[in-house]
Structure 1
Amino acid sequence: MTLPDDQVLDDVDALVAADPGMMLRATGDAGAQVRRALAGIDRDAVRRIAADGRPRSVVVVGMGGSGISGDVLAAVCGSGCPVLVTTIRDYTLPGWVGPLDLVLAVSCSGSTEETLNVAAEAVKRGCRVVGVGSAGSPLEQTVRSTTSGVFLAVDAGDLMPRASLWLLATPLLVVANALEIADVPDSALERAADVLDSVATECGVAVPLADNPAKILGLSLAGSLPMVWGTSFVGDLAAYRMACQFNENAKLPVVFGAIPEANHNQVVSLDGPFAGSAGDDIFRDPFEDGSGPARLRLVLLRDTDEHPQDARRADVTRDIAERRGVAVHVVTARSGHVVERLASLTAIADWSSVYAAIALGIDPSPIGPINELKGRIA
């Protein structure tokens, strides 16, 4: 495995040169995305959605960096939500979805194949349909093919879907607040934008490695097999987000999970062949002989609003891992409204994934296998 380069993370010019797709700049844009989305949303359209009353359920349809906006909505709504909120990542709309349900179809480009299929089916079934994506796109045409359809346009510009999380999620949260299925006033979203800006200040390219939590985390995970576990809806989603960002940006495989479920299966991997330093050759020269086998590293993304038993489980899990020689990194959410807490964890995930890529000598922007796959099935 390639040895991570720590020196590049302390060289601003080298960082910029290693990121021709400007993923670092896009990551720093997260707070501004929230503000742009709030300023640009069609409030009359949102009022029309709310005027039809609370739906039986909310079904978010989307893929990849667009689909995760539905997970943001579900996490913010939480377990106390009066309606079911679920995300569909497929070509098929579940059989139980009908006219009593609200389908939110999200596609950054407005042309995602799976999302268009499901949105069209939702229109046929007479569902309440709301689209979020690029103006003038096939998704807008599909949504507006029904008189009750509402389309909320967003302009992602040259941002990739995975770099547009908050631009896409903010309209969903505004709709949820209008429907009174979640308490997400604009003021909470503005504070979340401030949190994203604050993390960007702490984790920006000019902040030295020694003082930069995202550079430290990214460098640590760059040469490892990361497992990322979260607590509560907030930590669980942040763990999934972190895995996806490391997959796409750093091109690394990552296992993600949720406490307590991970304590019933994934935790046993701490006794496996990739844990600790078992089997390592103490005389290995990493520069002449290579870095050796990758080892597990555990990341715990902890919400500040945890179930007491989840908090105990996270503490004991850390102890079990460290006793087996597995390094553990704990990232704790900032306090505040649920959307602020979520923003603080996803921001660290995003920044660290880009730094991991650059430390490995990888351009974080290209998504070759995705593009090849799309081309071959078109």
Structure 2
Amino acid sequence: MKQLVEGFAQQLRDAMDIGEKATVAFSSPLYNNVVIAGMGGSGIGGDIVQAYVADKLEVPVIVSKGYTLPAFVGLGTLFIASSFSGNTEETISGVRAAMNSDASIGFVTSGGELLRIAQEEGMPHLIIPGKSKQPRACLGYSLVEMLYLLHYAGLLDDTFKTELRQSISLLEEQAGIIKVQASALANNFHNKLPVLYVSNALEPVAVRFQQQLNENAKQLCHVNVFPEMNHNEIVGWQHPESIYEQLSVLLIRTAYDHPRVRLRMDLSKKIFEDKVQDVVEIEAQGATYLEQALYLIHLFDWVSVYLAELNNVDPNTIDNIDYLKGELSKQ
């Protein structure tokens, strides 16, 4: 896993190369909406894409994480199915429903049933490398190829390519600093329950961090967002007092935080510090949303790997998921 995290910037570069060399054509020139289907490591890429294009696309984008699709999916829908293995049962179910609704469908996968469907039906698809067998370590591929599908569908202009190249340069320039920051955060989280707070603009990045801590470090984590948490969770910072010494709070700040959100973070931090000794902050680096998101993703991936070492666990294994898949396959 450490080697895969180390190669994240190169993975982004390779993903761009796949997107640039691809020949992808969609039959419909107009779309009323976009639906991205994916689970786990493939699905979180859809969440990040949705957040990134929120101020760029003139049609709504939603992410579907389940077996069924919204009733509006139909002729005016661009449906993107993202599955590393190509065999994710929820995503396959969504594809079959999308096919029945006459939506335009594009695929991002390394193989499996989804690639078979795409090739058999002559549908647009981008093939990503599958040799790592670690979907969560291949976010760069799934995220970038989804952006390319939106581009080839005529919904997204070329700007994302420049921002991706800038992001790659930033990650390479900051590689040493990122590892130092990650090691410090891992030590903060060791034997603690990480509580992550971020603005709603970058919620998918914090959720990705939570997922990486779950899978790589085999550790629970809690995430909530500003300003929503100020309308409910902030009141919960009273009981049970016995857990305060087990918490480690991280405030994730970015240049895309609304000024009122920044103020809310400042005020809420005082409440946290009255309860918890370990309250830290981190500021995303980069000039664009994509740079800041990818910077944080890479930083947090390193945290999860370092924390796995501190927890003395193998970041590559996912025993509970393997158990669930095995039992589901029997029924």
Structure 1 length as normaliser, TM-score? 0.82
User: Cα distance, 1:182 vs. partner?
Assistant: 6.2
Q: CA 1:356 to 1:269, structure 2 compared with 1: closer, same or farther past 3 Å?
A: farther
User: Cα distance, 1:159 vs. partner?
Assistant: 4.6
Q: Which moved more, 1:75-84 or 1:364-373?
A: 75-84
Tell me which residue corresponds to 2:18: 40
User: Cα distance, 1:53 vs. partner?
Assistant: 2.4
- Tell me how many residue pairs correspond in the alignment: 328
User: Cα distance, 1:265 vs. partner?
Assistant: 2.2
Q: Is 1:139 matched up with 2:114?
A: yes
Alignment of 1:1-378 (within 5 A): 23-41=1-19, 43=21, 45-46=23-24, 48-49=25-26, 52-79=28-55, 81-135=57-111, 137-147=112-122, 149-178=123-152, 179-181=154-156, 184-204=159-179, 212-234=180-202, 236-274=203-241, 295-378=246-329
2:106–2:149: 8 Å Cα contact kept in structure 1?
no
2:216–2:316: 8 Å Cα contact kept in structure 1?
yes
2:67–2:93: 8 Å Cα contact kept in structure 1?
yes
1:269–1:275: 8 Å Cα contact kept in structure 2?
no
- Residues in 2 aligned to 1:343 and 1:300: alpha-carbon distance in whole angstroms: 17
Structure 2 length as normaliser, TM-score? 0.93
What letter corresponds to residue 325 of structure 1 in structure 2? V
Structure 1 runs (4+) deviating above 6 angstroms are none
Q: Deviations over 1:154-197 (max 9, x none)?
A: 11321501111111100112233442346643221111122333
What letter corresponds to residue 362 of structure 1 in structure 2? V
Q: Which moved more, 1:318-327 or 1:333-342?
A: 318-327
What letter corresponds to residue 194 of structure 1 in structure 2? S
2:196–2:249: 8 Å Cα contact kept in structure 1?
yes
- Residues in 2 aligned to 1:348 and 1:275: alpha-carbon distance in whole angstroms: 31
Give the superposed CA RMSD.
Answer: 2.0
- Residues in 2 aligned to 1:213 and 1:138: alpha-carbon distance in whole angstroms: 40
Q: CA 1:96 to 1:184, structure 2 compared with 1: closer, same or farther past 3 Å?
A: same
- Residues in 1 aligned to 2:157 and 2:271: alpha-carbon distance in whole angstroms: 37
- Greater relative contact order, per chain length (Cα 8 Å cut-off, separation 6+): 1
2:273–2:279: 8 Å Cα contact kept in structure 1?
yes
- Residues in 2 aligned to 1:215 and 1:182: alpha-carbon distance in whole angstroms: 37
SS for the counterpart of 1:377 is helix
Q: Percent identity?
A: 28
- Residues in 1 aligned to 2:118 and 2:63: alpha-carbon distance in whole angstroms: 18
- Residues in 1 aligned to 2:34 and 2:21: alpha-carbon distance in whole angstroms: 19
Give 1 or 2: higher helix fraction.
2
SS for the counterpart of 1:230 is strand
Structure 1 portions without partners, runs of 5+: 1-22, 205-211, 278-293
Q: CA 1:271 to 1:198, structure 2 compared with 1: closer, same or farther past 3 Å?
A: farther
2:201–2:256: 8 Å Cα contact kept in structure 1?
no
- Residues in 1 aligned to 2:241 and 2:209: alpha-carbon distance in whole angstroms: 20
